[in-house]
């Protein structure tokens, strides 16, 4: 049975009563019925419903690709709806995304495309994406990168972000970048001893940085990032904002390059 025949069958079963009424009316054999009476007369009987369900099941068993086609259409519609919603969320939150003075900016500060990355240092996919993001910035040369500390995977994540923000506030962007790269590769838990040693390798006072980690200034930066992520419906890392698009999850270099090309038009 073809798709069109299958659909026609369903329509035919539903319309049997109505066709009969039309035929009678055409020859003057029956009075015109009210809408409620027509609806009642066109309803499927129990036997007809069972037969129709059996036909539907048999058709889908013989043609399972129809289900995949339907799922594909549904997913495409959902993706379009999410993309439209993302554009509006990005517009409303643009100032916090792009003009936050506490977020580190890398790449080309005057680039024609801005990428905002929400990351967690203990996230395996963030670590995997780190090298590819750096390669994208190096190979393109016209991209601005903004990093948002977004610790959502537990205490170790929070301490790592607190350390990175404390370093930035105390020593500036260059020191932050060095701490950021080190924390991405850090395997042991970020205990005070581990972080103090890391601070020493950066030429910083480890005790002072650790003391600053729980200060109001650091807490404010992280709280604002988490609130921004909530407004943008971000619940995983990495998440990238690339022009008018939000990319939730890891994206390989080729995928990033494709999105950048789309945004440039």
pTM of the predicted model as reported, rounded to 2 decimal places: 0.71
Instruction: Based on the fold, state whether residues 52 and 98 are members of the same structural domain.
Output: no
Q: What are phi and psi of 104, to 5 degrees?
A: -70, 140
> For position 76, what pLDDT does the model report?
67
Give the model confidence (pLDDT) of 96-111 as tens digits: 999 999 999 999 999 9
Please enumerate in sequence order all residues whose Cβ is within 8 A of that of 184, keeping only pairs 6 or more positions apart, or say none.
121, 126, 127, 130
Q: What does the H/E/C string look like for 111-173?
A: CCEEEEEEECCCCHHHHHHHHHHHHHHHHHCCEEEEEEECCCCCHHHHHHHHHHHHHHHHHCH
Tokens of 151: 């610790």
Number of domains in the chain: 2
Q: What is the pLDDT of residues 182-227, one digit of tens each?
A: 999 999 999 999 999 999 999 999 999 999 999 999 999 999 999 9
Instruction: Write out the residue range of the structural domain in which residue 173 sits.
Output: 94-264
Structure confidence by residue, pLDDT tens digits, 69-82: 777 666 666 666 56
Res. 49 pLDDT band, cuts 50 70 90: confident
Residue with tokens 């990495």: 238
What is the reported pLDDT for 118? 98
**In-domain check, residue 71:** no
Confidence at residue 174, expressed as pLDDT on a 0 to 100 scale: 97
> Which CATH number is 159's domain given?
3.40.30.10
Same domain, 165 and 256: yes
Flag whether pLDDT at 12 surpasses 60. no
Return the axis-axis angle of helices 192-201 and 173-185, rounded to nearest 10°: 130
The answer to whether residue 127 is domain-embedded is yes
Instruction: Note whether 239 and 113 are same-domain residues.
Output: yes
- Stated length of the chain: 265
Q: In sequence order, what are the beta bridge partners of 145?
A: 106, 115
Nearest to 147 by CA among 120, 122, 175, 127: 120
């Amino acid at each position: 049975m073809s798709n069109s025949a299958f659909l026609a069958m369903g329509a035919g079963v539903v319309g049997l009563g109505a066709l009969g009424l039309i035929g009678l009316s055409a020859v003057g054999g029956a009075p015109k019925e009210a809408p409620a009476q027509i609806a009642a007369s066109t309803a499927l009987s129990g036997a007809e419903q069972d037969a129709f369900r059996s036909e539907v099941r048999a058709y889908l068993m013989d043609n399972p690709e129809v289900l995949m086609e339907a799922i594909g259409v549904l997913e495409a519609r959902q993706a379009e709806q999410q993309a439209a919603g993302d554009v509006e969320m990005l517009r409303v939150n643009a100032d916090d995304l792009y003009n936050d003075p506490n977020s580190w900016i890398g790449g080309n500060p005057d680039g024609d495309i801005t990428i905002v990355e929400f990351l967690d240092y203990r996230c395996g996919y963030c670590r995997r994406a780190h090298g590819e993001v750096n390669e994208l910035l190096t190979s393109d040369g016209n991209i601005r990168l903004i990093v948002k500390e977004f610790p959502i995977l537990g205490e170790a994540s929070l301490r790592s972000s607190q350390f990175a923000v404390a370093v930035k506030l105390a020593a500036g962007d260059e020191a932050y970048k060095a701490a950021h790269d080190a924390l991405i590769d850090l395997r042991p838990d970020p205990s005070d001893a581990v972080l103090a040693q890391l601070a020493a390798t950066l030429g910083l006072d480890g005790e002072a940085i650790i003391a600053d980690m729980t200060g109001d200034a650091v807490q404010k930066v992280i709280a604002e990032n988490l609130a921004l992520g909530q407004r943008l419906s971000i619940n995983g890392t990495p998440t990238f904002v690339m022009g008018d698009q939000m990319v939730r999850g890891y994206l390989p270099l080729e995928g990033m390059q494709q999105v950048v090309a789309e945004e440039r038009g």
